[in-house]
Amino acid sequence: MSKFCPSCGEQLADNAKFCKNCGMNLETQQQTQQTTGTQQTMPPYEVQKVEEDHKIAIIIGYVFAILIPIIGVFIGVYLVTRKDSEKASLHGKIIIALSAVIWFISFKLMGY
């Protein structure tokens, strides 16, 4: 017989002590139910969306945009396509523009 987490509804093993999804302590919940004799209703578990950081990719993107612009363009495209972070998308656009400018300047300095 399977049991379910009273907080998030995740299906659990019969001998589970904690919910593998939300981390709720199931032993405390069972003790509370035994003490009061009733099943407590938990408020709905809300998952807050956390924006991905992408700090390392942003830093590497700026470094490569200056040193090796073609790699900076690839990293910029990677950051622009991140749907989970507006900040990463903005920095990706800046990195692509910076790479293009550095690339243009380097070709002008070489005489092309």
pLDDT values of the chain reduced to their tens digit, one per residue, 112 residues? 567 787 777 887 778 888 877 878 877 655 555 555 555 566 666 666 666 788 999 999 999 999 999 999 999 999 999 888 889 999 999 999 999 999 999 999 998 8
With tokens 């991905």, the residue in question is 52
* H-state helical runs in 48-112: 55-67, 69-80, 86-110
pLDDT for the residue numbered 47 = 63
Distances in Å between the Cα of 67 and the Cα atoms of 35, 40, 110 are: 67, 60, 16
pLDDT for the residue numbered 14 = 77
Predicted model pTM? 0.54
pLDDT for the residue numbered 81 = 94
pLDDT for the residue numbered 1 = 52
